[in-house]
Amino acid sequence: MPEKDLETSGGRDISSLGFDSNGILRLEWARGVVIDAPNAQHAMDRVNEVCGGRPTPLLIDMATTESVSRAARAVFAKRCDASAIALLGSSAVDRVLANFFLGVNAAPVPTRFFTNNAEALRWLASQGHDRA
């Protein structure tokens, strides 16, 4: 079960972070968050801390994210312990944010956008990485 209340001093960035029953690390951003560089770095640091240096598939739920700054996108373009990243959104705005990120920044690992949780999980599993 994901941990709750992983907030920065700004107070409202990560809603939850933890492993699901399939060993997928899930990061959920808080509703309406504006992701800036400090929020992005905090999330990357937490992912690395939880993974402990072990390559791990990561699902990022960005369905309620308001925006992602240019500086945050630069942070997300850096290598972390994620072995593959599925970006999960629910709207055309989410798709635009994800496609802008993927088009402008070279993702350090395989990264795709999904609007369906089950499809995102299948894709992560197909990347050949598991936690066990």
Domains and CATH numbers, the chain: 3-126 (3.30.750.24)
* Per-residue pLDDT reduced to its tens digit, 51-98: 999 999 999 998 888 888 888 888 888 889 999 999 898 876 666 666
- The angle subtended at Cα 129 by Cα 126 and Cα 132, nearest 5°, is 125
pLDDT band at residue 105 under the 50/70/90 scheme: low
Q: Which helix (H) or strand (E) covers residue 102, if one does?
A: helix 92-104
